[in-house]
Amino acid sequence: MTTYGYGTDIRQNQFGSNGVFLLQSPPGPTNPYAGATTTLQSTPGGVGTMPFRLGRQPLSTAPFSFNNVVPGGDGAPAQFYNVLMPKLTRGVLTGWRAPR
């Protein structure tokens, strides 16, 4: 996935840690879900459902959009699972310690 970082509040589309029920238009000239604002996701305990806010329309329910990023919604932030800087003390490898 390539994300260039343009825009604010860029999030994964219909993706959550509890599982999201996919709401997506079939391929074709019209999108019957273009006005939708929510779908369902499972509760953290897994025994019920709760609302999941969709991102900006029509991007969040367009055909084949489940693996894209969209502005807004309850999905995970686009860079959430990227590790840009590893959490390690380099002194462990080089013998050097940062001054305190």
CB of 44 closer than 8 Å to CB of 50: no
> pLDDT-derived band of residue 91, with 50, 70 and 90 as boundaries?
low
Give dist(CA 87, CA 96) in Å, integer. 16
pLDDT tens-digit profile of 55-72? 888 888 888 877 788 888
CB of 79 closer than 8 Å to CB of 54: no
CB of 66 closer than 8 Å to CB of 58: no
Confidence (pLDDT) at 90: 58
Confidence (pLDDT) at 96: 62
Domain map of the chain by residue range?
Answer: 1-100
User: What does pTM read for this prediction?
Assistant: 0.67
Tokens representing residue 42 in the block: 């499972």
Beta strands in the chain (DSSP E): 10-12, 38-42, 49-53, 69-71
Q: Judging by DSSP bridges, how do beta strands 10-12 and 49-53 pair with one another?
A: unpaired
Mean pLDDT, the chain, whole residue set = 79
